Amino acid sequence: MKRQLCIAALVVAAACAPSKGPQGGANSRLADAREAAQRTFVEPGKLDEFYLFYSGGHSGQVYVAGVPSMRHIATIPVFAPYPATGYGFDTESKAMLGGYTWGDVHHPALSKTKGDYDGRWLFVNDNANNRVARIDLRDFKTHQILGPIANSSGNHGSAFVTENTEYALVASRFSIPIPRGTYAPTSKYATDYKGVLSGIKVDSATGEMSVAWQIMTPPFDWDLASTGKEVSRDWVVWSSYNSERAIGRLEVTAAQRDRDYITFVNWRMAAAAAAQGKGKIIAGVRVLNPKEVPGMMFLVPLAKSPHGADFSPDGRYVVGGGKLAPYVTVYDFQKFLAAAESNDTIGNEDGIPVLRYESIRVAEVPVGLGPLHTQFDDQGYAYTSLFVESAIAKWKLGPFDGHDSALVVAKIPVNFSVGHLVTAHGDARHPVGRYLISMNKLSKGRHLNVGPSQPESSQLIDITGDGMSMLYEAYTEPEPHFAQLVRADLLHPIEVYPKAENKNPNAIWAASDAKITRRPGIVEVKIYSIRSYFAPNEIEVQQGDSVILHVTNAEQERDMLHGFGLAAYNINVVMDPGETKTIAFRATKPGVYPFYCTNFCSAMHQEMQGYFLVKPRAGTTVAAGAEGGN
Amino acid sequence: MTLAAWLSQVLSSRARFAVLGAGALLLLIPLFPLWQITMFANQFPEGLRLSIYAHQLVGGNGGNDLQGINILNHYIGMREIQAADFVEMKFIPFVLGIFILLGLRTAVFARVGNVVDMLVLFCYFALFSLGTFAYRMYSYGHQLSPDAPIKVPGFTPPVFGHQRIANFDVYSYPGFGSLLLGLFVLGLAAVLFFEVRRFRRQAAA
């Protein structure tokens, strides 16, 4: 084996362009540049093989790119307004945003059936305001934002879905006294502050989410989750840090113990306990106390300040990465079950049994410094991102016979300081392999200089065969955390909203149906838009009127979008073909204000405009600075 | 006297079935387009399609192409293409019914003269319909609104074949329905051909 590797390494080295820098094995260099270019070049007009859905971090959005080209294709606005698609301006999306103007998306999760991606929905978390959103992959739009979820604070360990998308799971990163709004001094952190794990029920037909139950935990900072498969299908694991229950400067205070915890939670048992009425209602949610539901929750020590906790594709192993340790720990799920059954504990935390590490761990694989997150391929390899070492390790998932260091087969340096990584279907029952994307936290001037706010880089790595080779580098919108890489043929989005499906009572399909309805103090308008005009193109109201505009794009042709921008009133919506959007506002400013189509549609797009006329209320004098904003 | 004798000759039973069969073809006409117009442009590589049936106009892409074509046409001031404009769509189904009835009549009375009547009337009907279709194309292309955003000289969209109109390549060809109409004509002509042969053979005997 070793000899073969050496030979492979020599062959690769021979084919390589001269490389700089001392680090990295021969099989981790840049692939031959021409070959790499061919592998990633997707001809104009041709399609990529994979969709990459990557989280946009504190931009609050989700981005869609094609792989292997790494081309950015679309932005899906989720937690922040996005004028480009009119998101956050119409009444529906405005209501979904609930007044928030940002979110922090970390972990997108594709819906699954039997543990594999089914191409229906994408769930994403908001680490900032404890929300979970559902994007429907039929139209690539956000259809629901659930939250802020009661009691939970800092929804980081989310959204991860169970084997058949029964639940999307949520965990608090910041412990607080619950319910939210309760006061307790931080001196009572260890006892009065609580972590909360939540089960979000997902309706199997509509995808509609609702908070089903919660589990109250000690005030650990819950970090990343992974859901079980096959043998472990009823279980979810979360890593945690700050098992010290420390406050203050956590980088020191929460890094004192050699081991923190990974928790194993039986979500099916939690659901059953909640159904039986166990626990108590806090802020309208049934909250379980693990002490009262024996067998539901266990803690297992995991090396210092962990991040990733990842089930292997067959559900047999869990790989835990301790950020401050030079190895990943591999746990055997069967051994976990045996230890849980035989009560093989070394103590407890607020009544939650802590199982014996040595009884469950089957390997400590020395992958390198700062292991964060692990993904898998279809060839029996695992890939772990190494933040501190700024590299990715490729290692064999077994046999775990004590020769742990022999499991590591390759390492590739990345530029720089990788956080999450993603492989094709890398967290599903059947990974696809082939590509890995390293989502790096730092790019440190590898790009054209754009000033001090430097972009994040993502690097495409070929993982076929025994080694890894660098193919491409792109500057992904800030800030990618986790992503999902899914075969393009699994998704079948629509291209227009079929007219027959538009059930909006205010939709109109002919210019002759355009209508201005006036009630005392209210003006409601059904607006028709098509290439290249609005009907009506003049809307007159009285100052102070409530104005409700329903704008229908009557097109049924793909890519014929129309926008409705009423600049003076800070409004811009975009209607896709066959879509009706509603805008509601008060006509506070008298005067004449143009509106126009903001989304380029046709040769006469520029002419697609009209006037919104606001007659001053009797006795109102028009101030010279009427245009001076709201 | 020979022509009159031939015209009153009783059809062979095979010929009667052939006339019935030809009539039956007409029953299928509503299922297939009589004419098809397809337009391609750089940004319409998949094409915009319009199918003209005996009784309806159907746009491609689930019906949406009709609206698409009309939206494009409105820029040059062409009036909206709609089924209501096509008087043919009212009389063609009615006339087809008449020919089916004539076919039944011919099968019963079974005189060669009946077949000749059918063929002559049908050829007239077909040419008349084609003529009105051509005139409709001419009207759409010439009765352009004077306040159109884009002013173009009057033109006739192709009735048969290819034509370049602005950035579009327009193709206009008969559809499968027209092929059935042709088969109907050929069927009747074949009946007459065989009836002439039979008449000559009998005269010789």
Three state DSSP letters for chain B: CHHHHHHCCECCHHHHHHHHHHHHHHHHHHHCCCEEEEEEECCEEEEEEEEECCCCEEECCCCHHHHHHHHHHHCCCCCCCCHHHCCHHHHHHHHHHHHHHHHHHHHHHCEHHHHHHHHHHHHHHHHHHHHHHHHHHHHHHHCCCCCCCCCCCCCCCCCCEEEEECCEEEEEEECHHHHHHHHHHHHHHHHHHHHHHHHHHHHHC
Q: Give the pLDDT of residue A252.
A: 87
Residues in B closer than 8 angstroms to A601, CB to CB, are none
Give the total number of structural domains in chain B. Answer: 1
| Residue A121 burial (10 A CB sphere; 0-12, 13-18, 19+) | buried
Of the pLDDT bands very low, low, confident and very high (cuts 50, 70, 90), residue A2 is very low
Q: Give the pLDDT of residue A623.
A: 53
pTM of the entire structure?
A: 0.90
Nearest chain B CA: its distance from A532 CA (Å): 9
DSSP letter at A140?
T
Of the pLDDT bands very low, low, confident and very high (cuts 50, 70, 90), residue A17 is very low
Strand partners, A193: none
What backbone torsions phi and psi does residue A230 show, to the nearest 5 degrees?
Answer: 50, -115
Q: Does the CB of A14 have a partner CB in chain B at under 8 Å?
A: no
Residue where the block lists tokens 């294709």: A73
A58 by DSSP, 3-state: which?
Answer: coil
> Residues 6 or more apart from B26 whose CB is under 8 A from it?
B96, B99, B100, B103, B180, B181, B184
Average pLDDT score, chain B: 92
Catalogue the E-assigned strands of A267-343. Answer: 280-282, 285-288, 297-303, 306-311, 317-322, 328-332
| Residue A171 burial (10 A CB sphere; 0-12, 13-18, 19+) | buried
Q: Give the pLDDT of residue A497.
A: 98
What gap in Å lies between CA B90 and CA A63, rounded to an integer? 53
Query: Closest-CA residue in chain A for B48?
Result: A557
Q: Give the pLDDT of residue B35.
A: 94
Q: Does the CB of A530 have a partner CB in chain B at under 8 Å?
A: yes
What gap in Å lies between CA A597 and CA A590, rounded to an integer? 22
**pLDDT digits 0-9 by tens, A274-289:** 999 999 999 999 999 9
Neighbours of B102 (CB within 10 A): 18
What gap in Å lies between CA A121 and CA A136, rounded to an integer? 5
Q: How many CB pairs under 8 A join A and B?
A: 20
> Residues 6 or more apart from A158 whose CB is under 8 A from it?
A106, A107, A125, A132, A168, A169, A170, A171, A225
Decide: A32 and A14 in contact? Cβ < 8 Å.
no
Q: Does the CB of A576 have a partner CB in chain B at under 8 Å?
A: no
Q: Does the CB of B17 have a partner CB in chain A at under 8 Å?
A: no
Catalogue the E-assigned strands of A114-220. Answer: 116-126, 131-136, 141-146, 160-161, 167-171, 195-202, 209-217
Query: Closest-CA residue in chain B for A529?
Result: B71
What gap in Å lies between CA A483 and CA A108, rounded to an integer? 6
What gap in Å lies between CA A178 and CA A287, rounded to an integer? 11
Q: B68–A556: do the CB atoms touch at under 8 Å?
A: yes
Q: Does the CB of B67 have a partner CB in chain A at under 8 Å?
A: yes
**B204 belongs to a structural domain:** no
Of the pLDDT bands very low, low, confident and very high (cuts 50, 70, 90), residue A322 is confident
Residues in B closer than 8 angstroms to A607, CB to CB, are 149
Amino acid making up residue A427 = D
- Percent of chain B at pLDDT > 70 equals 100
Q: What is the mean pLDDT of residues A138-151?
A: 97
Of the pLDDT bands very low, low, confident and very high (cuts 50, 70, 90), residue A5 is very low
What gap in Å lies between CA B30 and CA B33, rounded to an integer? 7
Is the per-residue pLDDT at A10 higher than 50? no
* Candidate from B67, B75, B149 with C-beta closest to A556: B67
Please write down the long-range contacts of A393-397, taking CB distance under 8 Å and 24 or more positions apart: A393/A367, A393/A368, A394/A463, A394/A467, A394/A468, A395/A365, A395/A367, A397/A312, A397/A317, A397/A330
Q: Does the CB of A358 have a partner CB in chain B at under 8 Å?
A: no
Is the per-residue pLDDT at A628 higher than 50? no
Of the pLDDT bands very low, low, confident and very high (cuts 50, 70, 90), residue A33 is confident
* Closest C-alpha among B103, B121, B97, B116 to residue B16: B103
What is the longest distance spanned by two Cα atoms in chain A? 93
Q: Give the pLDDT of residue A537.
A: 97
**B6 belongs to a structural domain:** no
* Candidate from A557, A604, A607 with C-beta closest to B68: A557
What gap in Å lies between CA A559 and CA A557, rounded to an integer? 6
Strand partners, B162: B171
| Residue B124 burial (10 A CB sphere; 0-12, 13-18, 19+) | exposed
**B117 belongs to a structural domain:** yes
Q: Give the pLDDT of residue A621.
A: 59
Strand partners, A539: A612
Residue range of the domain that includes B65: 12-199
> Residues 6 or more apart from A139 whose CB is under 8 A from it?
A493, A494, A497, A576
Q: Does the CB of B70 have a partner CB in chain A at under 8 Å?
A: no
Residues in B closer than 8 angstroms to A578, CB to CB, are none
What's the gap between Cα A327 and its chain centre? 27
**B150 belongs to a structural domain:** yes
**pLDDT digits 0-9 by tens, A114-124:** 999 999 999 99
Decide: A465 and A511 in contact? Cβ < 8 Å.
no
Q: Strands A546-553 and A522-530: what pairing?
A: parallel
**pLDDT digits 0-9 by tens, A56-75:** 999 999 999 999 999 999 99
State how far the alpha carbon of A126 is from the alpha carbons of A140, A146, A178, A215, A249, in Å: 18, 10, 19, 19, 24
What is the longest distance spanned by two Cα atoms in chain B? 75
What gap in Å lies between CA A374 and CA A225, rounded to an integer? 12
Q: What is the mean pLDDT of residues A6-17?
A: 38
Helices B112-142 and B176-204, axial angle in degrees (round to 10): 150
Q: Does the CB of B93 have a partner CB in chain A at under 8 Å?
A: no
Residue where the block lists tokens 């589990």: A215
Residues in B closer than 8 angstroms to A555, CB to CB, are 67, 71
Residue where the block lists tokens 């538009």: A502
Size of chain B in residues: 205
Q: Does the CB of A501 have a partner CB in chain B at under 8 Å?
A: no
What gap in Å lies between CA A172 and CA A188, rounded to an integer? 18
**B2 belongs to a structural domain:** no
- For the ranges A159-173, A499-513, A615-629, B92-106, the lowest mean pLDDT is seen at A615-629
Nearest chain A CA: its distance from B135 CA (Å): 28
> Residues 6 or more apart from A349 whose CB is under 8 A from it?
A218, A243, A261, A299
**B205 belongs to a structural domain:** no
Average pLDDT score, chain A: 92
Nearest chain A CA: its distance from B78 CA (Å): 15
Alpha helices in A276-385, H assignment, sequence order: 333-341, 357-360
Q: Give the pLDDT of residue A31.
A: 58
Decide: A302 and A262 in contact? Cβ < 8 Å.
yes
Residues in B closer than 8 angstroms to A46, CB to CB, are none
Token pair belonging to B8: 């009153």
Q: Give the pLDDT of residue B87.
A: 86
Q: B71–A556: do the CB atoms touch at under 8 Å?
A: no
What gap in Å lies between CA A236 and CA A264, rounded to an integer? 6
* Candidate from A496, A531, A607 with C-beta closest to B71: A531
What backbone torsions phi and psi does residue A103 show, to the nearest 5 degrees?
Answer: -150, 180
- Please name each of the domains of chain A with its CATH number: 499-615 (2.60.40.420)
Decide: A583 and A570 in contact? Cβ < 8 Å.
no
Residues in A closer than 8 angstroms to B70, CB to CB, are none
Of the pLDDT bands very low, low, confident and very high (cuts 50, 70, 90), residue A27 is very low
**B7 belongs to a structural domain:** no
Q: B64–A603: do the CB atoms touch at under 8 Å?
A: no
Q: Give the pLDDT of residue A69.
A: 97
**B52 belongs to a structural domain:** yes
**pLDDT digits 0-9 by tens, A213-271:** 999 999 999 999 999 999 999 999 999 999 999 998 888 888 888 889 999 999 999 99
Q: A604–B75: do the CB atoms touch at under 8 Å?
A: yes
A270 by DSSP, 3-state: which?
Answer: helix
Q: Give the pLDDT of residue A12.
A: 38
**pLDDT digits 0-9 by tens, B10-56:** 989 999 999 999 999 999 999 999 999 999 999 999 999 999 999 99
Query: Closest-CA residue in chain B for A577?
Result: B64
Is the per-residue pLDDT at A344 higher than 90? yes
What gap in Å lies between CA A533 and CA A608, rounded to an integer? 5
> Residues 6 or more apart from B53 whose CB is under 8 A from it?
B30, B32, B33, B34, B89, B177
* Closest C-alpha among A208, A180, A207 to residue A194: A180
Amino acid making up residue A230 = E
Q: B64–A557: do the CB atoms touch at under 8 Å?
A: yes
**pLDDT digits 0-9 by tens, A352-389:** 999 999 999 999 999 999 999 999 999 999 999 999 99
Q: Give the pLDDT of residue A29.
A: 55
Q: B64–A556: do the CB atoms touch at under 8 Å?
A: yes
b vs e for A94-103, b when ≥16 Cβ sit within 10 Å of the residue's Cβ?
bebbeebeeb
Token pair belonging to A196: 């909360």
Is the per-residue pLDDT at A620 higher than 70? no
What gap in Å lies between CA A373 and CA A220, rounded to an integer? 19
